[in-house]
Chain A
Amino acid sequence: MAESPASTAGGAVPEEETRRDFLYLATGAVGTVGVLAAAWPLVHQMNPSADVLALSTTEVDLSGIEEGQSITVVWRGKPVFVRHRTAAEISAAEGAAMADLKDPQPDSERAQRPQWLILVGVCTHFGCIPLGQQGDYDGWFCPCHGSHYDTSGRIRKGPAPTNLVVPRYEFRDDTTILIG
C-alpha cells in the first residue's frame, strides 16, 4: 500500500503522517532496547576495575607514631596524613569558634579520637599537597596559593573553599585503623 519513497528534488522528505504499523513499532522498540543494553558494557568498562576496587581500603598501624608525629600513607593514589596530635593542638582545635571558620565544623566531627587526626592531604583549592605544621594556625600550609589550615585541618585563611577532607575510617583496635 505504501508507495516506495519517491525521489524528490533537493532530497527533502515530505512530511506525511504514516500509520505506524504495530510490527514496525515492536521491532523498533526491541531493537532500541538491544542497542541500549549493548551500550552499557561499553560504558561500564571504564568504571574502576576489580583490582582497583580491592585496593580501595588501607590499613594503618598507629603504634609507631609518637605524639607530635605524622606519617603519610597512600590511599586510592592520594596522600593521607595520619597525625598523633599534642594536647596543645587538640585544645586549639576544640577551642576554635565556629564564627571564625570559613567551613564551620567542630573538631569532634573530624576526629573520632582527639589524639588521632586523619586527613586526605590534598588542598581543596586546586589539589596541591599542603605542608605539615606550618602556616599561621600551626596546622597545614599550602604553598601553591597560600591556604592556611588549623590543627583540625580546617581552612582558616586563603583561597581554599572547604576543610581538608576526612576520609572514612574506623578503629580496628587501639593501634590499627582501616581507611576507606
Chain B
Amino acid sequence: MTKFKIYLSVILLPVMLSILSACSEPPAKNTRGVYMLMDTSGTYTKELIQAQKVINFILSNLNPGDTFAVARVDTGSFSEKDIIAKVTFEDRPSMANQQKRAFRDKIDSFVKSVKPSRYTDITGGILQGIEYLNEAEVGHNLILIFSDLKEDLGKDYIRDIPLQLNNVSVVALNVTKLRSDNVDPREYLDRMAEWESKVHSGGGTWRVVNDMERLENILTF
C-alpha cells in the first residue's frame, strides 16, 4: 500500500506540475513596450527638458517585465546607435527600481551632452522602433514621438516606405508650432494629417498630446 502511494505520488506530481505550467500564461501578454523618439534637431533640443520629464513619468509608471527604450532622432535614425538607453525591467520590483534609477542617470547625462543634429529622420526612427518592439515581444506596443514632426531628410535618404504598425499605438508629444506654422497654420494641420494617415495606413493608432501637464493618458494602449 505504501509503495502504491509512493508510485502514485511520483506519477501525480509531474502531472500536476505540467497542469500548473500549462495554466500559467506567458508574461509577454501583460507586458508593455515603449519606444520613445527624441527629436534632437535644430532648436528642438531646447525642449529636451520636457522630454526628460516625460521619460521620468514613463519610468515611474512602468512595471517589472515592461520594456522601455529612448532613441534620438537625427540625420539617419534607422540605426541601433541612436538608441540612447534601453531596458527590460527585471521580475523583481527592487531590481526594477534600480534599473529605473540607472536609466534616468543615463538620460540625464545624454541631455547634458546632446548636440543638435542637422537633419530630422522621424520615419527612420519609427522603423527602428518597430523593429525594436517586435524583437521585445511584449503585449502592448507604444511609440512616442517627441518632436515637432517636421521631417527633414538628408540627401539620398529614402523614407517613403509604408510603416508596419499593426498593434502599435503612436503618440506624438509636444508638437510645437514652427514659425512658418504661425504664418500659415495649414502647414501645421497638413503635417499632422499626413502623419495621422501614415500611421493609420500602417495599421496603428494615432494620438497627439501637447499638454505636458496631462501625461496620465499617454500610457493607455
Are A and B interaction partners? no
Q: Please list the residues of chain B having a beta carbon within 8 angstroms of any beta carbon in chain A.
A: none
